[in-house]
């Protein structure tokens, strides 16, 4: 990508656009009562286009002036949301659905009988990490984050292959920056070992316990200012040493945006090295103990590759020349591409991944955004489909050398359940189901198809009560994602359940840009094709209205991260189509997004405004730059997180200021910057309940929905 230089002119002018009014004691919103939004114009000229940015001063989270402005905005938000009766009722119901005694799935180590697993008591905010010497021995608590500092969380656990040691990472407030330490499991002693760099993760142990591989970024001062967010590399750590002794073993010295990872094969004989940038990657390998450089298996960033090592063979899943995915096999001593033999051919369904478990190959597919799992022999013979309990989303995991085949299943009205698969009897045996008391028998899921603006057929899931009346009066929540090849599939969510219990309809379209239908579906919604994603979402809304599920006055939209960009874009493109918007941790300034944190890695998905051709389409849809004065925008709650490692909350602040300026007497435009939270929100159960209750109470209030509570 060519980095285009542009001339910057800065003018500093202070303009008071709104007066600070009062909010009534009841918390009801009064038009025009926003905090003072000061305009300090900064003028850029990019590729001949003059851009005036009045709220660039809101980009600096550390500026006391920005912090004071944010406090005033949040005070207004809480005065409006906190008194809503839906909020307290949502907190009570979500607490019922989220706080209970539970135990996670046991992980037995590869070399031995030791087991690791998580537990949670009803009163716990965080899961506790435990171990047992074997199936019949007593449980020993290893790590209890509930006893740590108020913002500390357990962010990573990686037992050695025999369970003698445990690498674990502590993070703070959702910042995705764990500091990894090593525990001797039998004594619970924390070793003196430290690691190099920051954002440490992806630990993979060597079979002899001599050490492990991990990924990390360089610390400040080791690279140019700001570039510590990049240059991710793989390091090797020798047990009993300090981080400054760790060796960098796999990296790239020219492209700072690449991520790197290493994984030791189940048999302990090989190390796989990955270099990737989202859906495309390279793969290298070497034998454990070999001093030679890694050997390339797939290079050139021409597709996505994942590799399973089984009995001296590589099984390579790829979408190279197969947009829906296929699998090759080759002997490890003949890794060159000309020696690859087709193992599983491409089908009409997207192949998500393969797993070698208990002597068979399990291939997991997306069929119309729902899971299918096919089973193959080691020779490539198709044996059967794995039986699933319903239409929904499933995963399968386990070891090639172990007998247990684990299957996880969930759907919109099917709480998360774990099974063991009995291959000989071809049946699922219930192991664990979500321990919540809930009746979902009154709800149903349907999949519909509609035509987007360019005629492309798009699928959409609709979830609602079985006796729904299509009279155009149903409060409806439309949500989506549409990016980074991420698939949105049927999964159980307590947030969805409380919406359904309040009489709402849930609508989830499988937008282009996602991964439900393969690489071409993804590419049809990225970079210069991003408008297709917004068109797909808008057409979903129009279809719901045309088919009398709802109407604009009863339609809410919600999205987070790339989904926040989605709802931000459609909000400014079709404001009359929606009543209220929940826009969480969003990207909204698409001209400057790449300048903050490590966001430039997303240039492969979105493009970069420093490229003149990419600037054109980014500027055309960038939500922040397309707000129009005097437009009647929907009510909106726009949220960010103070410890967000991926999306800077500056986007939320700037968008709120611009929307308030555009229509100061319109529907409420509210801001919340979540404290002690990361990209995924709060780190404790209570904080997540509080955050979801604020968001959903605002949506429900705008749509006139009530939460029904059972009588005691």
Active site residues: 561, 679
- Between CA 551 and CA 237 the distance in angstroms is 59
**379's tokens:** 């020779």
| Helix ranges, 637-684 (H) | 650-662
Beta strands in 196-320 (DSSP E): 198-205, 211-217, 233-238, 247-250, 259-264, 270-277, 280-287, 295-298, 305-310, 313-318
- Between CA 581 and CA 572 the distance in angstroms is 11
Neighbour order of strands in the sheet with 669-674: 443-451, 457-465, 505-509, 476-479, 555-560, 580-584, 635-641, 669-674
| Residues 449 and 458: beta-carbon distance below 8 Å | yes
Place of tokens 């002597």: 359
- Between CA 431 and CA 419 the distance in angstroms is 5
Q: Write out the H or E segment, with its range, that includes residue 505.
A: strand 505-509
- Between CA 639 and CA 409 the distance in angstroms is 31
Q: Is 45 helix (H, G, I), strand (E, B) or coil?
A: strand
CA neighbor of 386 nearest in space, from 396, 397, 373, 377: 373
| Residues 440 and 466: beta-carbon distance below 8 Å | no
CA neighbor of 359 nearest in space, from 400, 310, 398, 312: 400
Strand partners, 322: none
CA neighbor of 354 nearest in space, from 374, 334, 379, 335: 374
| Residues 652 and 639: beta-carbon distance below 8 Å | yes
| Residues 248 and 191: beta-carbon distance below 8 Å | no
Q: Which long-range contacts (CB under 8 A, 24 or more apart) does 464-467 make?
A: 464/500, 464/504, 464/505, 464/506, 464/549, 465/500, 465/503, 466/442
Sort 628 into a burial class: Cβ within 10 Å, 0-12 / 13-18 / 19+: exposed
Q: Write out the H or E segment, with its range, that includes residue 370.
A: strand 370-376
Q: Sign of the CA dihedral 276, 590, 43, 610?
A: positive
- Between CA 304 and CA 432 the distance in angstroms is 34
Count other C-beta atoms under 10 Å from residue 553's C-beta: 14
- Between CA 180 and CA 172 the distance in angstroms is 13
- Between CA 215 and CA 284 the distance in angstroms is 16
Q: Torsions phi, psi of 234, nearest 5?
A: -100, 135
Count other C-beta atoms under 10 Å from residue 708's C-beta: 11
Q: Please, which residues have CB within 8 angstroms of residue 390's CB and are 6 or more apart in sequence?
A: 409, 411, 414
CA neighbor of 580 nearest in space, from 698, 462, 665, 472: 698
């Amino acid at each position: 990508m060519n980095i285009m230089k542009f001339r910057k002119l800065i003018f500093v002018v202070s303009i008071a656009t709104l007066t600070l009014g009062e909010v009534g004691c009841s918390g009801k919103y009064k038009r025009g009562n926003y905090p003072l939004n000061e305009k300090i114009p900064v003028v850029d000229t990019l590729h001949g286009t003059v851009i005036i940015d009045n709220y660039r001063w809101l980009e600096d989270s550390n500026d006391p002036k920005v912090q004071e402005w944010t406090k005033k905005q949040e005070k207004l938000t809480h005065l409006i949301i906190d008194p809503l009766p839906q909020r307290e009722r949502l907190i009570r119901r979500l607490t019922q659905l989220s706080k209970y005694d539970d135990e996670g799935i046991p992980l037995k180590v590869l070399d031995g009988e030791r087991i690791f697993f998580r537990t949670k008591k009803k009163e716990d905010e965080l899961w506790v990490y435990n171990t047992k010497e074997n199936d019949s021995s007593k449980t020993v608590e290893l790590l209890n984050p509930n006893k740590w500092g108020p913002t500390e969380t357990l962010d990573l656990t990686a037992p050695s292959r025999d369970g003698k040691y445990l690498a674990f990472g502590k993070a703070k407030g959702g910042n995705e920056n764990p500091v990894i330490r090593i525990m001797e499991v039998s004594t619970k002693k924390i070793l003196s070992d430290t690691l190099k760099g920051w954002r440490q993760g992806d630990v993979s142990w060597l079979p002899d316990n001599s050490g492990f591989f991990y990924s990390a970024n360089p610390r400040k001062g080791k690279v140019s200012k700001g570039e510590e967010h990049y240059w991710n590399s793989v390091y090797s750590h020798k047990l009993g040493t300090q981080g400054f002794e760790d060796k960098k073993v796999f990296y790239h010295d020219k492209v700072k945006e690449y991520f790197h990872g290493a994984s030791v094969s189940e048999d302990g004989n090989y190390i796989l090295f990955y270099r990737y940038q989202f859906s495309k990657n390279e793969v290298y390998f070497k034998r454990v103990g070999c001093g030679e450089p890694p050997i390339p298996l797939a290079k050139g960033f021409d597709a996505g590759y994942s590799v399973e090592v089984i009995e001296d063979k590589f099984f390579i899943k790829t979408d190279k020349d197969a947009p829906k995915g296929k699998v090759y096999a080759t002997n490890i001593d003949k890794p060159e591409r000309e020696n690859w033999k087709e193992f599983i051919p491409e089908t009409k369904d997207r192949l998500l991944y393969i797993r070698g478990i208990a002597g068979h190959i399990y291939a997991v597919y997306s069929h119309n955004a729902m899971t299918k799992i096919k089973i193959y022999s080691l020779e490539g013979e198709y044996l059967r489909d794995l039986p699933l309990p319903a239409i929904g989303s499933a995963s399968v995991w386990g070891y090639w050398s172990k007998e247990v085949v684990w299957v996880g299943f969930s759907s919109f009205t099917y709480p998360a359940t774990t099974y063991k698969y009995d291959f000989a009897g071809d049946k699922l045996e219930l192991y664990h189901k979500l321990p919540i008391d809930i009746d979902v028998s009154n709800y149903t899921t349907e999949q519909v198809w509609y035509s987007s603006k360019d005629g492309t057929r798009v699928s959409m899931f609709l979830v609602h009560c079985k006796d729904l009346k299509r009279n155009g009066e149903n409060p409806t929540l439309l949500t989506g994602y549409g990016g980074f090849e991420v698939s949105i599939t049927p999964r159980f969510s307590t947030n969805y359940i409380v919406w359904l219990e309040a009489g709402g309809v849930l609508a989830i379209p499988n937008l282009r840009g996602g991964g439900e239908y393969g690489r071409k579906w993804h590419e049809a919604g990225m970079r210069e094709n991003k408008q297709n994603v917004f068109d797909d979402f808008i057409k979903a809304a129009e279809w719901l209205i045309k088919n009398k599920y709802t109407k604009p006055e009863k339609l809410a939209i919600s999205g987070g991260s790339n989904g926040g960009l989605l709802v931000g874009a459609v909000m400014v493109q079709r404001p009359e189509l929606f009543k209220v918007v929940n826009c969480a941790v969003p990207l909204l300034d698409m001209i400057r997004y790449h300048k903050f944190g490590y966001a430039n890695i997303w240039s492969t998905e979105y493009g970069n405004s420093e490229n003149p051709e990419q600037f054109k389409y980014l500027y055309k849809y960038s939500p922040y730059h397309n707000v129009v004065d005097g437009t009647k925008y929907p009510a909106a709650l726009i949220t960010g997180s103070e410890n967000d490692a991926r999306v800077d909350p500056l986007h939320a602040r700037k968008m709120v200021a611009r929307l308030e300026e555009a229509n100061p007497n319109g529907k409420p435009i509210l801001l919340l910057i979540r404290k002690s939270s990361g990209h995924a929100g709060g780190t404790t159960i209570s904080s997540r309940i509080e955050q979801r209750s604020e968001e959903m109470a605002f949506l429900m209030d705008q749509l006139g929905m009530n939460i029904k509570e059972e009588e005691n």
